[in-house]
Amino acid sequence: MKTQRMSEASGADRRPPKMIRLLGETHIDFMGKRRIAFLLSTGLVLLGLIAAFQIFVTGQANLGIEFTGGTSVTLEFKQDVSLEEARRLLRESGFSNPQITDAKGGEGFKLIVRVKADEAPGREAVEVADRIKEIFEGAFPDNPVLDTSSTSIGPAIGAELRQKAVYAIVYAIIGIIAYIAVRFDFKFGVAATVAMFHDVLAVIGIMWLKDFFVPTEFTLLIMTAVLTLAGYSLTDTVVVFDRIRENLKKRLKLPLDQLINHSINQVLSRTIVTSLTTFLVVFSIFLFGGEVLRDFAFALMIGVIVGTYSSIFVASPLLIVWRGGRGKLLGQAPASSSPAQSTSPATSASAAGRHATGA
């Protein structure tokens, strides 16, 4: 008897820990709001298309030195130099938007200054480096420049980088379609890809719009953030799709829109916990990462919000819009309920529970 109790206790100890739940059981009618969500998403996509045209086609947006060409100058000082003071000096000397980072290497303090080609028209990289060196030597006579080096990035390289950025997005889309199509179904793959494309355009559009209010350069760092959030959006969408597929295989006799609502409500707490923790990490980078990482972190923050939104209000409703034939998994679910026939989310959930118990 004692041995039995010990085995029961050890079995209880082996139970997996419960996941943190910020929300209890929810019965939110997400699919009932899909038309409003589609209108909002259409606006975000149109904004993103305009921004993408300005950035990747005409090159008329506020682009970083990687895309426009320019000069990178590395200065080595004996003592540290304040980044804010360095930016102020360069702006007062005619360089309107210099990109400045610092690094400690060797025996001194390195300051890396990058300026666009249009801020120093007609000047060679060596001339720009000499001019920047003069500015700092005049401002810090007690902290001389020990060494100077410069490199030039031509407009042709900038155009090539813009082209490669577009290729990276296209390759990511093709890979996602293939992955989701194999794991789920081709229609799931298309819905996930549309949601990811929506997220990428939304972030590009918001970052482009932000430049009208707060100067924001579209740099390779922001491009990195865009590709990162594409993967994040896919991960969140896969979690929702996996639950939808699981409920479809259980043959719950619910209309498709109610079944999708039920599935989203089941994973809603997990989705919010994941998104909130990710957002808090990125927000800390935004606050404490310095000016160089601020736009990168802001793009990721927007991406986390948009990616969570699209998994629920873009990818999932597309499964209703494009259900497929009768032989497909989606086609086996009953037709979506009409407004007159629809039941409340709570009723749908209880019905789903009864069918699952009966199965």
Tens digit of pLDDT for each residue in 290-305?
777 899 999 999 999 9
Alpha-carbon distance of 76 to 96, in angstroms, equals: 22
Q: Please, what's the b/e burial string for 245-266 (b: 16 or more CB within 10 A of its CB; e: otherwise)?
A: bebbeeebebbbbbbbbbbbbb
The one-letter code for the residue type at 332 is: Q
Over range 283-287, report the average pLDDT. Answer: 94
- The domains located in the chain, with CATH, are 31-60+158-335 (1.20.1640.10), 70-153 (3.30.70.260)
Do the Cβ atoms of 334 and 255 come closer than 8 Å? yes
> What's the whole-number average pLDDT of the chain?
78
Cβ neighbours of residue 2 under 8 Å, at least 6 residues apart? Answer: none
Burial of residue 130 (number of CB atoms within 10 Å: 0-12, 13-18, 19+):
middle
Strand runs (DSSP E) across the chain, as ranges? 70-77, 99-105, 108-116, 145-153
The band of 218, judged by pLDDT with boundaries at 50, 70 and 90, is confident
Measure the CA dihedral 85/88/94/95, to 10°: 80
State whether residue 263 is helix, strand or coil: helix
The one-letter code for the residue type at 219 is: T
Residue bearing tokens 């390779």: 220
DSSP code per residue over 63-118: B-HHHH-EEEEEEEESS---HHHHHHHHHHTT-SS-EEEEEEETTEEEEEEEEEGG
Between 44 and 334, the higher pLDDT residue: 44
Q: Pick from 272, 244, 241: which is nearest to 352 by CA? A: 244
Alpha-carbon distance of 220 to 208, in angstroms, equals: 14
Tokens of 148: 């100077």
Would you state the pLDDT for residue 335? 58
Between 251 and 220, the higher pLDDT residue: 220
On the CB side of 65, CA atoms within 13 Å amount to 18
State whether residue 276 is helix, strand or coil: helix
Alpha-carbon distance of 258 to 262, in angstroms, equals: 6
Render pLDDT for 162-212 as a digit per residue (tens, 0 to 9): 778 778 778 877 887 777 777 777 788 888 888 988 999 999 999 999 989
Residue 156: pLDDT above 70? no
Alpha-carbon distance of 89 to 68, in angstroms, equals: 23
Note the pTM of the prediction, 2 decimals. 0.75
Alpha-carbon distance of 190 to 40, in angstroms, equals: 20
Render pLDDT for 69-127 as a digit per residue (tens, 0 to 9): 788 888 888 888 888 888 888 888 888 778 888 776 556 688 888 887 777 665 666 78
Alpha-carbon distance of 167 to 325, in angstroms, equals: 33
Render pLDDT for 311-333 as a digit per residue (tens, 0 to 9): 999 999 998 887 654 445 565 56
Render pLDDT for 227-276 as a digit per residue (tens, 0 to 9): 888 888 888 888 898 898 888 887 667 788 888 999 999 999 889 999 99
Alpha-carbon distance of 190 to 180, in angstroms, equals: 8
User: CA-CA distances (angstroms) from residue 82 to 91, 94, 128, 166?
Assistant: 14, 19, 21, 36
Residue 10: pLDDT above 60? no
